[in-house]
Structure 1
Amino acid sequence: MSTAPVYNIDPAAFLADPYPDLAKMRADGPVWQVPQLGATLFVRRDDIFEQEKRIDVFSSYQPEGLMTVLMGENMMRKDGPDHAAERKATFPAFSPRTVRDSWTAQFRARTQEVLDRLAPKGGCDLVADYAMPVSAEALKAITGLANMDWREMDRVSQGMIDGIANYGGDPSVEAHCHDCTASIDAHIDARLEELRDHPDTSLLSVQVEAGLPMDSVRANVKLAISGGQNEPRDAIAGAAWALLTHPEQLAMIRDGSATWRDAFEEYARWISPIGMSPRRVARADTVQKVAFEPEERVFFMFGSGNRDERVFDAPEVFDITRDTGPSLAFGAGPHFCAGAAASRAMISEVALPMLFDRFPDLAIDGEVPFAGWAFRGPLKMPVRWS
């Protein structure tokens, strides 16, 4: 391991709420070795922002990493020209123009269907009954897997998320992840002939049209599902919870002094749906007086950087009027989230405004527990409306 000082955590407490430990780490130093996670953690925003770009030292290429082993080698696990080539090939599916011209209307149509199903019920679990299908239906369009039921989309996404966070090596979690990736492969196979005959702007189609190897095509579709289902789902429900628990800020949006985009960006800073990004040390180096050796594991803790007191005033406070420009919610550097435009459109232009427009008296109707540090969000959110 690195020569960083050691900070011990209670894994269960860290999973329930990592922010107290992260605040202590930030206060006492920029880099910490956490034995329970088997990694060295960068916890301050500016260090993360700078070091994430140093791909010659902190490499995304992780052939033995859980994501590569379980999901295949996607573009997120490549650096330099290899990463750039695949990012260019996938860009037509994620570009702001494609989001505007192709995806947003589909997001609205599918969200309207979900709201129509929910309206007569007078209440629901906002995570499972609203955010989950809205996110999954959007992802079906973007990936090109229109043949996958939204429930299966959520299942396979969660299965992969659990798999790549399975640092404890639970064999049942690994087996379930393999079952989920097999389902994705089967759904890809069922769509290939049609998309070859009738190409579109979906991720599956644009990669095939660009001539990427099928191993890369499959891995990148799995990457999009793992990052494009759970995180938007959690951000939709979580941002709604934040606004309902801060009614004065919801009122600002309704009177036009703030926007749904402001609320989404601040929520993504405050409760980072993606709280960490792993790296492999590619060569020996010293950073912040800490020596790193090749093949060590490093975690860039986005969730900690987004609450760095050196950058944000009162970072523990949800405040939609703050400048979220320095936020690391979508990462930084060459691996900045390719789906950022789609996420922003789906959540701040569709899911949040349509929810609050349809149910203006929406109210929380029970406990809303949160969990996670690598990926964080509400586990359930009971709500009611008249």
Structure 2
Amino acid sequence: MSNAPMFEIDPQAFWQDPYPTLKRMRAEAPIAYVPQLGATLITRRDAIFENEKKIEVFSSDQPDGLMTVLMGQNMMRKDGADHAAERKAIFPTVSPKTVRDVWKAQFEAATRDVLERVRPLGATDLVAEIARPISGEALKAMTGLTNMAWQEMDRVSQGMIDGCANYAGDPKVEAHCHDCTASIDAHIDARLPALRAAPDPSLLSVMLEAGLPMEAIRANVKLAISGGQNEPRDAIAGAVWALLTHPDQLALVRDGAATWQQVFEEYARWISPIGMSPRRVAQPYETQGVRFEPEDRVFLMFGSGNRDEAVFARPDVFDITQDCGPAISFGAGPHFCAGAWAARCLIAEVALPMIFDTLPGLHLDGAAPFGGWAFRGPLRVPVAW
């Protein structure tokens, strides 16, 4: 077991707002074992950036990890040649060219439909009625599961997210996760005949065409849903909330002094939708005086690294003019998020500008509570226009 110093946390307070605790950890024990999480946390940006690339030590291959057990071994839980092969197989779906030439128009059409549906209401919950369907419709198209309602897409994504963060071992959470993965498998099975007869650029189709084994196809579709629904949903709703609570920042965009892309990148740094990525220690290793032993569990705390005082000028402030280039919101190294280009397009090029253009006078209509540390976002954002 690692000889890292022990750092106690309050799990409930950590879920409600992890940033004060992470700030203390960076100052007092930047690499520390947290017994409440059963893992050693690496919290400083440069240490995360350096060590995430050392796949021979900090391995993504976690046979007993929650994601592998619940969803199958997807490419995120593979290293080296195995990971590279599956990443290459899915590239035709997520490449910048495909995002530009295929998906962007579909994102725009679906977002327009969502906003036209809610505009007459004059008020709604931004998370539930705008961000969820925008994200869900985009993910239906990209995965190829066009037979799944966006509501089901959101349900199964959240169920898998909850399952993968179920470190307390709640049997109800695990059972719900199994129900969600069974739903995905059934929808995959129903789509196979049509996609084999008429291939398209969707994830399911390109993996079929690449000849990946069916178990890998299923696992990677589940991976795409777990990461492709909740995080864009949370980033869309969270970024709108950030702009509405920082009108000076919104004015910069409206005046052309800043871009929607800057809004998205800064929000993803400030409140990281993906706050953590787990690793398994594969061989003895020592860094910064901390020794790791094989099978130790390590959490790379992206959300903490994105607020590192040693890297960012104003780490705790939402400021779209500051340099967020060093942010690790999408990870680093070989496991850099494959869906990054699609996320940037959906959120920065489509959802944010269309929301503000379509809903004149948009403003907050109540409190917007946030939750989570492994995955973080607003639970609801009441708005009116």
Normalising by the smaller structure, the TM-score range is: over 0.9
Q: Is the 8 A contact 2:160 2:181 kept in 1?
A: yes
Q: Distance in 1 between matches of 2:286 and 2:258?
A: 44
Q: Which position in structure 2 is the counterpart of 1:269?
A: 269
8 Å contact kept, 2:7–2:29: no
Q: Partner of 1:36: helix, strand, or coil?
A: coil
Counterpart in the other structure of 1:43: 43
User: 5 Å matches for 1:1-386?
Assistant: 1-385=1-385
C-alpha distance after superposition, 1:115-163 (max 9, x if no partner): 0110110000000000000000000000000000000000000000000
Deviation string, structure 1 residues 291-338 (Cα, Å, up to 9, x no partner)? 111111000000000000000012000000011110010000000000
CA displacement 1:172-213 (0-9 Å, x = unmatched):
000000000000000000000100110000000000000000
- Paired letter, 2:153: M
CA distance in 1, matches of 2:152, 2:99: 24
Moved more, 238-247 or 26-35: 26-35
Query: Which portions of structure 1, spanning 4 or more consecutive aligned residues, are displaced by more than 2 angstroms?
Result: none
User: Could you list the per-position Cα deviations for residues 76-106 of structure 1 after superposition, in whole angstroms to 9, with x for gaps in the alignment?
Assistant: 0000000000000000000000000000000
**Is the 8 Å Cα contact of residues 68 and 77 (structure 1) preserved in structure 2?**
yes
Percent identity for Structure 1 against Structure 2: 72
CA distance in 1, matches of 2:342, 2:113: 19
The residue type paired with residue 102 of structure 1 is: V
- Is the Cα contact below 8 Å between 1:93 and 1:203 reproduced in 2? yes
> Mean Cα displacement is larger for which, 284-293 or 220-229?
284-293
The range that moved more, 274-283 or 28-37, is 28-37
* Contact map agreement 2:242 2:318 (CA 8 A) in 1: yes
- Contact 1:30 / 1:47 at 8 angstroms: preserved in 2? no
Gaps of 5+ in 2: none
Give the TM-score of the pair, scaled to structure 1. 0.99
Query: Structure 1: which 5+ residue stretches go unaligned?
Result: none
Aligned-partner SS, 1:219: helix
Measure the CA separation in 2 of the matches of 1:372 and 1:149: 26
Distance 2:201 2:325 in 1: 30
Aligned length in residues:
385
RMSD across aligned positions (CA): 0.5
2:278 match: secondary structure: strand
Distance 2:236 2:83 in 1: 29
State how far apart, in whole Å, the 1-side matches of 2:131 and 2:307 are: 25
Cα distance in 1 for partners of 2:84, 2:99 equals: 21
TM-score by length of 2: 1.00
Cα distance in structure 2, aligned partners of 1:51 and 1:288: 12
Q: Secondary structure at the match of 2:36?
A: helix
* SS of residue in 1 equivalent to 2:314: coil
**Contact 2:370–2:377 at 8 Å: present in 1 too?**
yes
Query: For residues 166 and 16 of structure 1, what CA distance do their matches in structure 2 show?
Result: 16
Inter-partner Cα distance in structure 1 for 2:105 and 2:124? 25
Check conservation: 2:40, 2:299, Cα contact below 8 A.
Answer: yes
Q: Which AA in structure 1 matches 2:191?
A: R
**3-state SS of the aligned residue for 1:33?**
strand
